[in-house]
């Protein structure tokens, strides 16, 4: 059976989540207190309803307890976002993802039962900053506050060298978990593999170690 989703708050972020889930053929219940927003999603989501998510009775009447995963994307209204999250948590929703506005909001959300807290503006800002610093950094994915994965193009300093020669783990404490070469992806690269110009390395490590690795080997 397909998982059922609900998106609460149909602003730019929630709207985009709702649209993508619907495009993927997932059943989505879209909720917003604004009639204009709800009308916009009438033909996109499975159901689109005008409702104030801070009202527990309303949430129950909408059958929210049958939903597998609820995404709370109430943007600037932090109070409403917190109230909604507490209620969803009390109702025993299996998976609650909430968009946070700032770090304090994030800390509260985690304490009151959000299973996943996302920070799209902050994360996108970090990714963009990394790609601006160097054209060799293709992507940047935060795993936790302290650890990330980066996708980097082989820099001039790496061309023709083997992973053993570069000693990335020994010198910078990061691990090369995979190497993409054209359409192939090698998930257990040997230390003797010689890097070619178009190779893409996927590297995991603490943010501090990854910065060291970037400064010494990635920036040309």
Binding-site ranges for ligand ADP (CB under 6 A)? 8-14, 31-34, 37, 52-54, 73-77, 80
Of 83 and 137, CB closest to ligand ADP? 83
Q: How far apart are CA 202 and CA 177, in angstroms?
A: 6
Query: Smallest distance from the beta carbon of 103 to ligand ADP, in angstroms?
Result: 17
Of 100 and 166, CB closest to ligand ADP? 100
What is the residue whose two structure tokens read 């009639």?
35
Q: How far apart are CA 175 and CA 210, in angstroms?
A: 9
Query: Smallest distance from the beta carbon of 36 to ligand ADP, in angstroms?
Result: 8
Of 122 and 169, CB closest to ligand ADP? 122
Q: How far apart are CA 135 and CA 219, in angstroms?
A: 8
Q: How far apart are CA 219 and CA 110, in angstroms?
A: 36
Query: Smallest distance from the beta carbon of 184 to ligand ADP, in angstroms?
Result: 38
Q: How far apart are CA 132 and CA 142, in angstroms?
A: 17
Of 112 and 138, CB closest to ligand ADP? 112
- Residue 70 carries which DSSP code? E
Query: Smallest distance from the beta carbon of 80 to ligand ADP, in angstroms?
Result: 4
């Amino acid at each position: 059976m397909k998982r059922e989703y609900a998106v609460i708050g149909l602003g730019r972020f929630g709207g985009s989540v709702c649209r993508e889930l619907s495009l993927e053929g997932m059943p989505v219940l879209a909720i917003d207190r604004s009639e204009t927003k709800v009308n916009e999603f009438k033909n996109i989501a499975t159901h689109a309803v005008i409702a104030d998510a801070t009202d527990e009775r309303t949430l129950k009447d909408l059958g929210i307890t049958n939903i597998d995963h609820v995404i709370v994307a109430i943007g600037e209204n932090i109070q409403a976002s917190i109230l909604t999250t507490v209620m969803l948590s009390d109702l025993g929703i299996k998976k609650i993802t909430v968009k946070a506005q700032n770090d304090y909001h994030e800390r509260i959300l985690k304490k009151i039962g959000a299973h996943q807290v996302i920070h799209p503006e902050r994360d996108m800002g970090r990714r963009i900053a990394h790609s601006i610093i160097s054209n060799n950094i293709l992507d940047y994915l935060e795993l936790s506050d302290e650890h990330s994965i980066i996708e980097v193009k082989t820099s001039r300093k790496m061309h023709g060298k083997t992973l053993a020669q570069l000693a990335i783990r020994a010198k910078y404490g990061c691990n090369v978990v995979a190497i993409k070469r054209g359409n192939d992806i090698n998930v257990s690269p040997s230390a003797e593999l010689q890097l070619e110009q178009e190779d893409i390395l996927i590297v995991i490590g603490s943010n501090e170690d990854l910065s060291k690795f970037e400064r010494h080997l990635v920036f040309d």
